[in-house]
Amino acid sequence: MIAALQQAPKDEVAVKPVGGTKMEQEILQKTLGKHRAGIIVKQVAAGREFKGQPFYSKPDIIHFKVNFSRAVIYMNWGVS
C-alpha cells in the first residue's frame, strides 16, 4: 500500500515575496547593468570563438505561405 503524501500546514509554508527574494533582485540588477553597459562574454568552445550569424539560411529570406482552412483538422506526420 502506498502512503498518501502529506501537505505542510499553510502557516509553515514560506511565502515568496512578489518581487523575488533579495538575492534574486541583486542578481537581476547585476544582469541588467551588464546588458545596459554592453558587456558581452565571448562565446568560446573547443578553443574557437564563435563569430557571425548563428544560423545560415539559403536563401537569405524564407517566406512561409500559409493556406490553412478553418474547418480542416491537420495532423503532425512525424516532423521533428
* 59 located within any domain: no
Task: Report the largest interatomic distance among the alpha carbons of the chain, rounded to a whole angstrom.
Answer: 61
* 54 located within any domain: no
* 17 located within any domain: no
pLDDT (tens digit per residue) in 6-23: 676 666 666 667 778 889
* 33 located within any domain: yes
* Antiparallel, parallel or unpaired: β 44-45 and 48-49: antiparallel
Q: Is the pTM of this model over 0.85?
A: no
Domain total of the chain: 1
Give start and end residues of each alpha helix (H) in 1-80.
Answer: 22-37
What DSSP designation does 58 have?
S
pLDDT (tens digit per residue) in 15-63: 667 778 889 999 999 988 888 887 777 888 888 888 877 777 777 777 7
The continuous run of DSSP H or E covering 44 comes out as strand 44-45
Which domain does 26 fall in, by range? 22-49
Q: Which three cell numbers stand for residue 11?
A: 502557516
* 77 located within any domain: no
